A and B are shown apart, each in its own frame.
Chain A
């Protein structure tokens, strides 16, 4: 029987785990969170069961069915609160180093898995371009506003501005409305021309993706009912406030996303939620050695196999396609990883669904993709790296002083990208600022099938406390803890951490 480990329990990972189990594999499903569903189905915890939680979600019944099947399947071990902190290659195989326990705890249990096959379904996080004041409390990524609304029933503010680019802004606005917040406006950077070219090009292809279109239509309906204005060709170009946000400046953008002088207006708001797209979470794929595309997603073949033997990938790390694509890709990947035939049965239907959903990623890029003119809203004192508080002016100064456009040397001198988030927030932005408009990924990689760009490399997937590293058993003794024994492992029941912690790495 084949051991299949699936990392990530969002739509792609859940579908992969079910498909792999159906194809006869022994499956371990890991997620760093303490519940299933990923960000798409982020929901209230077991301590707060809700009678009508489905109101807050799309395809909630699909989630219920998937999680029920996985929890009851005898060949599936679900391991929540399991953080994979590094991935090593050894003797042609893969070794996952995992800590199981409370997030950022000090006494988590170490676990090593060496699966026959690995499915990576690690998803993506929001990408927010910097703007003056974006470091103020009260400015959130759009994903944060949604996670807090769905996972906590917390509204980030009473008068909320939503801005950025892409269809994701619509469900975020809907989630905010469902908390009772007032959404002052939704400002989409893409202008009507690009939106039309992206979404109206070859409209007959959209007919097959009726599920996705229906989902979006539902969100548009929510905005209309609440008289929320959706305004294309606009951006939040600054946030204001003394220590916390109390207003933003909205401006019109030209086709290149450069702010149009004289169109700025001040809008009172106590929260602003901004996202300009998504960044795939590539750490494990890069550590495994998977080839990336020039647009920096994991390259996969028709069975979702990566360039590395024994490693499959599904969902947003292979392209931003939404939940329908992720479910289909997960089903194909899980079947193939288990050694099943991806050309038959449910996997065959999933392949058809995948090809319908894939067109969406290209449309989103055409309609909402980041345009280079956005640097027009930066000022010298605008924070670029939130962790190290490196400003745009400092980055430019370092480039002038050192004459270097290399991300690595600019990072070391300016400290941008060296903080605890490991450049997850600013890495791609920094790279684009160094490369200049149009030179996509020139300085730091981004070549089709080439090595991963420096800014995406993170050998430590998360910071790990030195105390936990020191307490790890020698690798040779922990190798016995393969996924075959995973069913004997603890699940999510951990005491609250009370030990004083050591320093982080």
Chain B
């Protein structure tokens, strides 16, 4: 486990209690809390990579975190090329790995 979400109970910023949601990533359930982006849910669960590049077949995840670099693209509910760092996760979202951006 590398990246993680700060547990609400020990967070000095005192966020409200979690409102759990689950998204399905390449067939596996991943737990998050309402209001997180898809990238936030994935990183919060310790997943750092979720895309494979078209040319080199290399793994990618978040780089810029603010919607500028397009490294974090995923397919969400059948729609390709969604920036995971911007899209808020909805309970039940089906997220699929993209093999490239073209």
| Interface of A toward B, CB cutoff 8 Å | 32-34, 39, 44-53, 55-56, 102-106, 125-126, 135-141, 143-145, 147-148, 151-158, 178-180, 243-244, 270-271, 386-389, 419-421, 424-425, 463, 496-501, 504
Q: Which of B40, B73, B79, B88 contacts A34 (CB 8 A)?
A: B88
Decide: A47 and B59 in contact? CB cutoff 8 A: no
| 12 residue pairs bridging A and B, Cβ less than 8 Å apart | A33-B86, A44-B13, A103-B83, A125-B66, A135-B58, A140-B62, A154-B4, A158-B4, A178-B12, A270-B2, A425-B64, A498-B78
Q: Which of B3, B12, B53, B58 contacts A271 (CB 8 A)?
A: B3
Q: Which residue of B lies closest to A463 (CB)?
A: B81
Q: How far is the CA of A434 from the CA of B15 in the complex (A)?
A: 48
| Interface of B toward A, CB cutoff 8 Å | 1-6, 8, 10-16, 19, 33-37, 39-40, 43-44, 48-49, 53, 55-56, 58-71, 73, 76-83, 85-88, 90, 93, 101
Which A residues are in CB contact (< 8 Å) with B4? Answer: 154-155, 158
Decide: A48 and B35 in contact? CB cutoff 8 A: yes
Q: How far is the CA of A271 from the CA of B61 in the complex (A)?
A: 12
Which B residues are in CB contact (< 8 Å) with A425? Answer: 63-64, 68-69
Q: Which of A104, A141, A156 contacts B82 (CB 8 A)?
A: A104
Q: Which residue of B lies closest to A147 (CB)?
A: B65
Q: Which residue of A lies closest to B75 (CB)?
A: A501
Decide: B70 and A421 in contact? CB cutoff 8 A: yes
Decide: B13 and A144 in contact? CB cutoff 8 A: no
Q: Which residue of A lies closest to B19 (CB)?
A: A47
Decide: A420 and B101 in contact? CB cutoff 8 A: yes
Q: Which residue of B lies closest to A181 (CB)?
A: B4
Decide: A144 and B33 in contact? CB cutoff 8 A: no
Which A residues are in CB contact (< 8 Å) with B79? Answer: 104-106, 497-501
Q: How far is the CA of A500 from the CA of B79 in the complex (A)?
A: 5
Q: How far is the CA of A153 from the CA of B56 in the complex (A)?
A: 32
Q: Which residue of A lies closest to B62 (CB)?
A: A144
If A47-B19, A50-B16, A497-B79 touch, whether A141 touches B59 (CB-CB below 8 Å) is no
Decide: A103 and B82 in contact? CB cutoff 8 A: yes
Q: How far is the CA of A53 from the CA of B58 in the complex (A)?
A: 37
Which B residues are in CB contact (< 8 Å) with A105? Answer: 79
Which A residues are in CB contact (< 8 Å) with B10? Answer: 180
- Shortest C-beta distance, A61 to chain B (Å), equals 16
Decide: A419 and B70 in contact? CB cutoff 8 A: yes
Decide: B83 and A104 in contact? CB cutoff 8 A: yes
Decide: B3 and A50 in contact? CB cutoff 8 A: no
- Shortest C-beta distance, B70 to chain A (Å), equals 4
- Shortest C-beta distance, A25 to chain B (Å), equals 29
- Shortest C-beta distance, B62 to chain A (Å), equals 6
- Shortest C-beta distance, B15 to chain A (Å), equals 4
Decide: A387 and B16 in contact? CB cutoff 8 A: no
The 8 A-B residue pairs whose C-beta atoms are closest, nearest first, are A144-B65, A47-B35, A51-B14, A103-B86, A152-B40, A137-B49, A501-B79, A45-B35
Q: Which of A47, A243, A498 contacts B77 (CB 8 A)?
A: A498
Decide: A153 and B64 in contact? CB cutoff 8 A: no
Which B residues are in CB contact (< 8 Å) with A125? Answer: 64, 66, 68
Decide: B15 and A154 in contact? CB cutoff 8 A: no
- Shortest C-beta distance, B82 to chain A (Å), equals 4
Decide: A53 and B44 in contact? CB cutoff 8 A: no
- Shortest C-beta distance, B76 to chain A (Å), equals 7
Q: How far is the CA of A270 from the CA of B48 in the complex (A)?
A: 10
**Most chain B beta-carbon contacts within 10 A, residue among A126, A147, A158, A389:** A147
Q: Which residue of A lies closest to B11 (CB)?
A: A153
Decide: B80 and A501 in contact? CB cutoff 8 A: yes
Q: How far is the CA of A270 from the CA of B3 in the complex (A)?
A: 8
